[in-house]
Amino acid sequence: MNQTLERLLDVRRRIATAAAEAGRPAGSVGLVAVSKTFDADAIRPVLEEGHRIFGENRVQEAQGKWPALRGKFPDIELHLIGPLQSNKAKDAVALFDVIETVDRDKIAVELAKEIGKKGKAPRLYVQVNTGLEEQKAGIGPRETAAFVERCRTVHGLAIEGLMCIPPFEDYPGPHFALLQKLAGECGLEKLSMGMSGDFEKAIPFGATSVRVGSAIFGSR
């Protein structure tokens, strides 16, 4: 079997085990296969196996490979997991099914405008900078509830959940716990958290989707 597929099956087994250990129903944790930097030839076996949910961090890179793959696999669900510039909002709304990185009013305004024009709305997550890292995108934890409320009432956007990327050097548990608490305060049930190095730790804290790249596709 293709090595990528072996790793995909292993990741699925580990998700199922972590969910069972956390007392959560099988299938309550979705898997976003993060295919950034990998080309269509690397992705195709995963599509042929039946997996349909993928994540990309750059709009332009995604535009270069996904339209053709969609021609053959029309039910692909594509997530934008990287920072979004406002001049890319139009392309992002056109291409992605889920945008996980809404983190400021300027982006919310642009997304609302494009959604109105196209009559097509991606599902949206607010990215929270749980570690308050300067170089990282995301709204601060203290601003999250008010921002989610503004998305709803001022910008007219339906927010589905929250997303975070814990600081690389920290133990991730407290960050996952914080995201779970903030989601509760906002009345949100969807939590995108956990990557190759820590997805099993995110599951007891309620992750409803994990974003796994290198553990499936290999190192970048």
Ligand X SMILES: *Cc1c(COP(=O)(O)O)cnc(C)c1O
Where along the sequence are the contacts to ligand X (CB under 6 A)? 34, 36, 57, 81-82, 165, 195-197, 211-215
CA atoms within 13 A on the CB side of 141: 17
Phi, psi (deg, nearest 5) at residue 211: -110, 105
Q: Residues 129, 159: contact at Cβ < 8 Å?
A: no
Q: Residues 33, 216: contact at Cβ < 8 Å?
A: yes
Q: In angstroms, what is the minimal distance from the CB of 6 to ligand X?
A: 16
State which residue, 155 or 211, has the beta carbon closest to ligand X.
Answer: 211
Q: Which 3 state secondary structure label does DSSP give 184? A: helix
State which residue, 36 or 152, has the beta carbon closest to ligand X.
Answer: 36
State which residue, 25 or 168, has the beta carbon closest to ligand X.
Answer: 168
State which residue, 123 or 150, has the beta carbon closest to ligand X.
Answer: 123
Phi, psi (deg, nearest 5) at residue 19: -65, -45
State which residue, 84 or 157, has the beta carbon closest to ligand X.
Answer: 84
Q: In angstroms, what is the minimal distance from the CB of 156 to ligand X?
A: 26
For residue 42, count other CB atoms closer than 10 A to its CB.
16
Q: In angstroms, what is the minimal distance from the CB of 175 to ligand X?
A: 13
Q: In angstroms, what is the minimal distance from the CB of 154 to ligand X?
A: 26
Q: In angstroms, what is the minimal distance from the CB of 176 to ligand X?
A: 14
- Provide CB contacts within 8 A for 113, sequence distance 6+: 89
Measured at CB, which residue is nearest to ligand X? 213
